Amino acid sequence: MKFFVDTADLEEIRDLAASGLLDGVTTNPSLVAKTGQDFFEVVKEICKIVDGPVSAEVTATDHETMVKEGRKLAQLAKNIAVKVPLTKDGLRACRQLRDDGTMVNVTLCFSAAQAILAAKAGASFVSPFVGRLDDIGEDGMGLIDDICRIYEQYEHFETEVLVASIRHPIHVIEAAKMGAHVATVPPKVLRQLFQHPLTDKGLAAFLADWQKTGQSIL
């Protein structure tokens, strides 16, 4: 499973990229707005930090303008994945941008039917929002399972399942069990994956025993 981080905070991205565990970044207009910085400068800087796909979202809702915005975003860096909404116009824009050779992340997916359409439109990634489905009493992880099962039936589908709106580590674990290709997580959740009380307890015991020997490796 690949890990993308869902943020536009440059310091967070630099820190996580240094861990060697980061495969890409997803952003959206809301995340960039929180930085208070110029949208294009933020995206270009992220693309310098991370070699993998960096999703940058269009703000238009009609096909023609989406394509224009997508082409402008794609010029920012080679690793840009243009993010478009899962609407009729968004899927049409997806096909046109993919024909240009641009990676496309089709976002705001909430049903298996939508995911099928995204794959048929040639999306590089489809982003089902599990947390938002859970919020309204639906089964977010059940949707991931459905999409993964469907995609497995068709070898010509090259779309990767990018699990979005992740709220906690269990979402990541369950998505990995189902064979999802990518999890895009907030920085806090990515760091939570490191944590376990028994690891901390074991490390403390090892260090205490080593200190008693009075020895040093260096």
Please give the average per-residue pLDDT across 166-174, as a whole number. Answer: 97
> Is 29 domain-assigned?
yes
Global confidence as pTM: 0.93
Please give the average per-residue pLDDT across 73-102, as a whole number. Answer: 98
> Is 182 domain-assigned?
yes
Tracing tokens 């809301």 back to the chain, one arrives at 30
> Is 109 domain-assigned?
yes
Q: Which of 34-38, 68-72, 96-100, 146-150 has the lowest mean pLDDT?
A: 34-38
Tell me the average pLDDT of the chain. Answer: 96
> Is 6 domain-assigned?
yes
- Evaluate whether 26 touches 4 at the Cβ level (below 8 Å): yes
Predicted confidence at residue 30, as pLDDT, reads 87
Please give the average per-residue pLDDT across 148-170, as a whole number. Answer: 97
Predicted confidence at residue 146, as pLDDT, reads 98
Of 45, 113, 108, nearest in space to 79 by CA: 45
Catalytic residue check, 120: no
Report the distance separating Cα 1 and Cα 162, nearest Å.
10
Return the H-helix or E-strand segment holding 169: helix 169-178
Give the residue numbers spanning the domain of 193. Answer: 2-213
> Is 218 domain-assigned?
no
Residue 198 sits in a domain of what CATH number? 3.20.20.70
Return the H-helix or E-strand segment holding 97: helix 88-99
- Evaluate whether 53 touches 103 at the Cβ level (below 8 Å): yes
> Is 105 domain-assigned?
yes
> Is 133 domain-assigned?
yes
Total structural domains in the chain? 1
Q: Which residues contact 54 (CB under 8 A, 6 or more apart)?
A: 24, 25, 26, 27, 43, 46, 47, 77, 79, 80, 81
Active-site residue (options: 83, 88, 177, 201): 83
Return the H-helix or E-strand segment holding 25: strand 24-26
Predicted confidence at residue 113, as pLDDT, reads 98
Other C-beta atoms closer than 10 Å to the C-beta of 103 total: 20
> Is 196 domain-assigned?
yes
Q: What is the tens place of the pLDDT at every residue in 19-69?
A: 999 999 999 888 998 899 999 999 999 999 999 999 999 999 999 999 999
